[in-house]
């Protein structure tokens, strides 16, 4: 009977050690993925600022920033999802769930704005062309 108890104790210690190793690996991966998200956002901000400094088109800068923020949020969201693997209580899961929901809303908003910049609304395009045509007509009539 002592041999069985010793064997179970040894198995229990091994499983606890594996559990601690698993938690450590998930924590390291969570921090790594989060750091990548922060790095992507930082690089995006610098690239956008350099583009602004070089007088790039505003629409191009907005699109570049939106895409970079969207990619960064994807990494940050991945880190939060990975964090749910090691969360031990319901309160922790609810907090991580709220963070994930907030980041999803931000990602959708950034995606929506990015598409608005890359594909402007037809009314705005029509107004831009109408103004351009009016200026051309005034120029040809000698009114300008």
pLDDT at 51: 92
**pLDDT per position as a tens digit, 91-131:** 877 877 888 788 788 878 877 776 665 555 554 445 555 55
pLDDT at 10: 75
**How many structural domains does the chain have?**
1
Domain of 95? 2-141
15 to each of 7, 19, 38, how far by Cα in Å? Answer: 12, 6, 34
Q: How far apart are CA 59 and CA 21, in angstroms?
A: 48
Q: How far apart are CA 126 and CA 8, in angstroms?
A: 76
73 to each of 12, 33, 119, 133, how far by Cα in Å? Answer: 39, 11, 22, 41
> 3-state class of 78 per DSSP?
helix
pLDDT at 124: 47
pTM of the model: 0.65
**pLDDT per position as a tens digit, 42-88:** 999 999 999 999 888 888 888 888 889 889 988 988 888 888 888 77
Q: Give CB contacts under 8 A, 24+ apart, made by 102-109.
A: 103/73, 103/76, 103/77, 104/77, 106/73, 107/70, 107/73, 107/74, 107/77
């Amino acid at each position: 009977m002592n041999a069985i108890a010793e064997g179970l104790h040894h198995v229990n210690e091994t499983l606890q050690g594996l559990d601690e190793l698993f938690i450590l690996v998930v924590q390291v991966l969570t921090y790594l993925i989060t750091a990548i998200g922060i790095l992507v956002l930082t690089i995006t901000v610098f690239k956008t600022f350099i583009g602004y400094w070089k007088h790039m088109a505003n629409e191009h800068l907005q699109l570049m920033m939106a895409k970079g923020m969207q990619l960064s949020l994807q990494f940050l969201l991945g880190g939060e999802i990975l964090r749910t693997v090691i969360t031990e209580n319901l309160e922790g899961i609810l907090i991580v769930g709220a963070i994930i929901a907030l980041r999803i809303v931000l990602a959708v908003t950034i995606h929506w704005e990015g598409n608005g910049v890359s594909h402007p609304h037809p009314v705005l395009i029509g107004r831009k062309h109408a103004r351009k045509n009016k200026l051309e007509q005034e120029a040809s009539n000698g009114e300008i």
